[in-house]
Amino acid sequence: MRRKIVAFKIGYKKVYKSLKLDKTKYIICVVGPTAIGKTALGIKLANYFDTEIISADSRQFFKEMAIGTAVPSSDELSAAKHHFIQHISITENYSVGDFERDGLELLNKLFKTKDIVVVVGGSGLYVDALVKGLDYFPEVSPSIREELNQKAIEELQVLLLEKDPDYYNKVDINNPHRLVRALEICIGTGKTYSSFLNTGNGSRNFKSIYVGLEADREVIYDRINRRVDIMVDSGLLHEVEQLNDYKHLNALQTVGYREFFNYLKGDWTLEFAIDEVKKNTRRFAKRQLTWFRRNEKIHWFNYDMTIDRIKNKIDTLIKTSK
């Protein structure tokens, strides 16, 4: 375990030292809740700045998961160059640390010819890893994780609420992997998982501009419900059926798949499973907003704001930051 950590730190330093960027290099982070329109805005900004897009949506990394993760369409992918879209398999282990390392390597290449790169995604942890660096977590006994893995998800939820209510309120409480990860730190260190967050790995040799998309809750919920209906009509159930033998993998412990696995087991009706996908996606969007609202650097725009207003704001921010 220690050898792996040391190897990663050495590899990270090597990548970071090679990232000799001018201070006029920027990444524009397009963030916000699911189904709000981040992909469309990211493409418009990439075209405006003549650049490429780094996806920071961890659910869209996997080749086998397209419909349930709302992977950009072929037209959208051809409208602007995207990176980290369906680039790995669900059977591969790919951590946020791997993404940080690969993202920095890619930025190193892109900044040789681009002054600006657009980052799009609703996975706040992955955006933060690229912008600020990973948080440091001490090693804890593997036996703690083994014991936690034996508990039902309901037990894990209650335990996390007791030990770290702050993190409980922003994490996906239906993701057992995230719950176990937080709890093993709480139990192994006697401190909250939250206390280790936002420590980062130091400054970056580029500047970051955050653009957030928002809308009234009713609008967000309606967009989510309509997106789920479109996913179902596009063959989401068939996609889940093809992945049923892999439902134990961490990549598939996520909304849009977990609910249909319950249908395939015969525990739920199809109608109930679809309703649960909508409900859990709405909850997920709420947690995304909770995460991003804590970042005071985000410049928020209504989801239907004209692109010119957003571009003008970014241009102004770049001019005044030099």
Which DSSP symbol is given to 158? H
Please indicate if the annotation marks 290 as binding a ligand.
no
Please indicate if the annotation marks 37 as binding a ligand.
yes
Which tokens sit at 59? Answer: 């659910």
Count CB atoms within 10 A of the CB of residue 248: 8
Please indicate if the annotation marks 138 as binding a ligand.
no
Alpha carbon 89 to chain centroid, angstroms: 17
Which tokens sit at 181? Answer: 């990860």
Beta strands in the chain (DSSP E): 26-31, 53-55, 82-83, 116-120, 207-214, 298-302
Which tokens sit at 236? Answer: 């989401």
Please indicate if the annotation marks 202 as binding a ligand.
no
Closest CA to 86 of 66, 67, 61, 69: 61
Which DSSP symbol is given to 83? E
Please indicate if the annotation marks 11 as binding a ligand.
no
> How far is residue 83's CA from residue 71's CA, in Å, rounded to a whole number?
12
Please indicate if the annotation marks 39 as binding a ligand.
yes
Please indicate if the annotation marks 32 as binding a ligand.
yes
DSSP 108-135: HHHTTT-SEEEEE-S-HHHHHHHHT-PP
In the chain, the largest separation of any two C-alpha atoms, in whole Å, equals: 60
Please indicate if the annotation marks 322 as binding a ligand.
no
Q: Residue 168, SS3? A: helix
Q: Report the binding-site residues for ATP.
A: 32-39
Binding-site residue positions: 32-39
Binding-site residues for substrate, please?
A: 34-39
